[in-house]
Chain A
Amino acid sequence: GAVVSQHPSRVICKSGTSVKIECRSLDFQATTMFWYRQFPKQSLMLMATSNEGSKATYEQGVEKDKFLINHASLTLSTLTVTSAHPEDSSFYICSARKNEQFFGPGTRLTVL
């Protein structure tokens, strides 16, 4: 199998705080993980490609200092939304690549 987990599944935070989302590949090693953002009724938007042991590659328009990505091991990548604001409220989905991409269940972030 190829199972990817995300934690937390849902988070509510106050404006100005930082939130960390974890993405784990449970039964395989993934040198590459991807982070997506999805607004209601819209498609997935790739934010960044996370490579184990190196810096993430961010898509155009995604603020690197706002969305910190760390891929410290072959089974874990984290996305930290720093100084979160209400406009950061969204559904964040990660995927891990084992030949093809396998998706986590997503994290719903609400910033008050």
Chain B
Amino acid sequence: AQKITQTQPGMFVQEKEAVTLDCTYDTSDQSYGLFWYKQPSSGEMIFLIYQGSYDEQNATEGRYSLNFQKARKSANLVISASQLGDSAMYFCAMREGPRGSTLGRLYFGRGTQLTVWP
């Protein structure tokens, strides 16, 4: 079974609008972490936001927020006030085990290509 599922290969949003990128995950661990990365055409992986499985509040980082619904095993990324520079591939990822665990590998989804139009 896929550990991380991103069902939207592509999304389009108009500048200044908000957009939600979907991510569901599958794990039997109680302790895990969820990440979102942005990958522009240059290829670098830019860390956006992190949510720990025990965090009660949804994570926020500037225009990014993570809608964490533990019972549904979903961790959707919400980008508010989209900008043209937000156009990129977005990956959801999960780390099983606690932070700093010697396991520590990341499982990535297939990604969502976001296009912001003027």
Contacts and interface: CB of A to CB of B under 8 A. Distances in A.
A103 B99 contact: no
A93 B110 CA distance: 16
Interface in B40-82: 42-45, 47, 50
Interface of A: 32, 34, 38, 41-44, 46, 49, 91, 93, 95, 97, 99-103, 105-106, 108
A43 B50 contact: no
Given A38-B43, A99-B100, A103-B37, 10 more contacts: A42-B111, A49-B105, A91-B43, A93-B45, A99-B99, A100-B50, A101-B95, A102-B47, A103-B47, A106-B45
B91 A100 contact: no
A100 B33 contact: yes
A101 B99 contact: no
A90 to B, nearest CB: 11
A44 to B, nearest CB: 5
The dominant DSSP class at the B interface is loop
The dominant DSSP class at the A interface is strand
A38 B110 CA distance: 11
Nearest to B106: A101
A58 to B, nearest CB: 12
Contact of B44 (A44, A101, A106): A106
B34 to A, nearest CB: 11
A43 B43 contact: no
28 contacts: A34-B105, A38-B43, A43-B108, A43-B109, A43-B111, A44-B45, A44-B91, A46-B105, A46-B106, A49-B105, A93-B45, A95-B106, A97-B104, A99-B99, A100-B50, A100-B95, A100-B99, A101-B104, A101-B106, A102-B47, A103-B37, A103-B44, A103-B47, A105-B42, A106-B43, A106-B44, A106-B45, A108-B43
Given A43-B110, A100-B99, A93 B104 contact: no
Nearest to B35: A100
A42 B109 CA distance: 9
B53 to A, nearest CB: 14
Contacts of A100: 33, 35, 50, 95, 99
